[in-house]
């Protein structure tokens, strides 16, 4: 109900240009359209991208233009969604989508990503040296931690910083730390990849996938810590962290 009413209001405001196979935004910098776009965004997108579009469970959208996207590309992403993710496709009329594009662009920090501190090339070297042992990144690396090849498209700068300084603060399912103790006292540590009443599968710290029957183990110890070391400022100075996060922000994979 609320949705229908809002669409009607938005359509009234947006009545002006007829939009057919448009590639430039007909509402670019149009104040009425930006207001309508803001209402539509609050209703349909804010739950994931945040009311200010700066990211929540979906990514920060206010940095896209600074990173070189175009109105047309953002339009197409909203129209088609992102397959394999929770980002839905949209059947909204073109003019409503263009209005949302105009709104998000209007609140975008045009130079955000370019102004962000850090040197992405140095960041890439640091990541190769200190992270790819455990993380697959754009072409190579390990599997103990999640693949980072698209991490820039799905995490904000702030959440990346937190993941590196305090990895235990939020641990993804599939990466929980576990230690298996055998009857002879051997300990096998790794991330739990699967478990049922009788068996447990673990990717051990040498990155070998191993399965055990629970009846063959003395103990299964679950630990509320991450296998990723805490990169405190003593271990990773702020300057290095900035370079790394700046580089990770450029990793947007390709589908
Ligand atoms: C259910 C949660 C959800 C909703 C609702 C949602 N999104 Fe998304 N959106 C996401 C996620 C997650 C991604 C990242 C997908 C990926 O790349 O893996 C995303 C990606 C995007 C991107 C691409 C960002 C980039 O880096 O290129 C745009 C643009 C976007 N969303 C706009 C919108 C707009 C506008 C709406 C409302 C009409 C919306 N989204 C609704 C979750 C959502
Ligand atoms: C010893 C292995 C190891 C090393 C080295 C390591 N990580 Fe991790 N990382 C992990 C594991 C395991 C996880 C998943 C558990 C968690 O979220 O803490 C993880 C999680 C992450 C996440 C969260 C990913 C997501 O999808 O939310 C980021 C970001 C990350 N690591 C970045 C880095 C960076 C940058 C470095 C290098 C400075 C690094 N890691 C070094 C093992 C490692």
Q: Is 187 in the pocket of ligand 2 (CB under 6 A)?
A: no
Give the pLDDT of residue 103: 94
Nearest to 82 by CA among 208, 204, 217, 254: 254
Q: Which residues line ligand 1 (CB under 6 A)?
A: 44-45, 47-49, 58-59, 61, 64, 74, 77-78, 82, 85-88, 90, 100, 153-154
Residue 56 CA, ligand 1 centroid: distance in Å = 10
Average pLDDT rounded to a whole number, residues 176-183: 96
Q: Is the pLDDT of residue 85 over 80?
A: yes
* Ligand nearest to the backbone CA of 170: 2
Residue 91 CA, ligand 1 centroid: distance in Å = 15
Residues sharing a CB contact under 8 Å with residue 184, sequence separation 6 or more, in sequence order: none
Nearest to 144 by CA among 186, 177, 181, 188: 177
Average pLDDT rounded to a whole number, residues 64-83: 90
Q: Is the pLDDT of residue 88 over 90?
A: yes
Give the pLDDT of residue 15: 52
Q: Classify residue 93 as exposed, middle or buried by CB count within 10 Å of its CB (0-12, 13-18, 19+).
A: middle
pLDDT in tens, 125-159: 999 999 999 999 988 999 999 999 988 877 778 88
Residues sharing a CB contact under 8 Å with residue 120, sequence separation 6 or more, in sequence order: 243, 246, 247, 249, 250
Residues sharing a CB contact under 8 Å with residue 254, sequence separation 6 or more, in sequence order: none
Atom 22 in ligand 2: residue holding the nearest Cα? 163
For residue 252, name the pLDDT band (cuts at 50, 70, 90). confident
Average pLDDT rounded to a whole number, residues 221-233: 95
Residue 196 CA, ligand 1 centroid: distance in Å = 34
Residue 209 CA, ligand 1 centroid: distance in Å = 34
Q: Is the pLDDT of residue 114 over 90?
A: no
d(CA 93, CA 81): 15
d(CA 241, CA 123): 8
* Ligand nearest to the backbone CA of 230: 2
Phi/psi-derived region of residue 14, left when phi > 0, alpha when psi is between -120 and 50, beta in every other case: alpha
Contact 108, 62 (CB under 8 A): yes
Residues sharing a CB contact under 8 Å with residue 166, sequence separation 6 or more, in sequence order: 230
Atom 7 in ligand 2: residue holding the nearest Cα? 228
For residue 217, name the pLDDT band (cuts at 50, 70, 90). very high
Nearest to 114 by CA among 50, 68, 47, 180: 68
Nearest to 239 by CA among 156, 113, 123, 111: 123
């Amino acid at each position: 109900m609320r949705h229908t009413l809002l669409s009607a209001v938005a359509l009234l405001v947006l009545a002006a240009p007829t939009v057919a196979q448009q590639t430039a935004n007909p509402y670019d910098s149009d104040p009425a359209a930006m207001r309508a776009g803001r209402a539509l965004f609050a209703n349909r997108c804010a739950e994931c991208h945040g009311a200010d579009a700066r990211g929540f469970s979906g990514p920060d959208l206010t940095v896209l233009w600074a990173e070189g996207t175009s109105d047309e590309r953002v339009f197409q992403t909203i129209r088609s969604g992102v397959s394999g993710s929770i980002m839905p496709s949209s059947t909204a009329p073109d003019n409503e989508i263009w209005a949302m594009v105009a709104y998000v662009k209007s609140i975008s920090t045009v130079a955000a990503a370019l102004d962000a501190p850090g040197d992405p090339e140095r960041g890439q070297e640091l990541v190769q040296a200190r992270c790819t042992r455990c993380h697959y990144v754009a072409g190579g690396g390990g599997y103990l931690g999640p693949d980072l090849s698209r991490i820039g498209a799905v995490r904000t700068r702030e959440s990346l910083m937190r993941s590196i300084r305090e990895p235990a603060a939020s641990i993804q399912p599939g990466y929980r730390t576990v230690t298996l103790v055998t009857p002879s006292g051997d300990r096998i540590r790794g991330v739990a990849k699967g478990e049922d009443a009788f068996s447990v599968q673990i990717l051990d710290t040498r990155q070998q996938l191993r399965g055990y029957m629970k009846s063959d183990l003395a103990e299964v110890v679950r630990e509320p810590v991450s296998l990723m070391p805490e990169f405190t400022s003593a271990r990773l100075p702020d300057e290095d962290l900035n370079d790394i996060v700046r580089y990770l922000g450029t990793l947007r994979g390709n589908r």
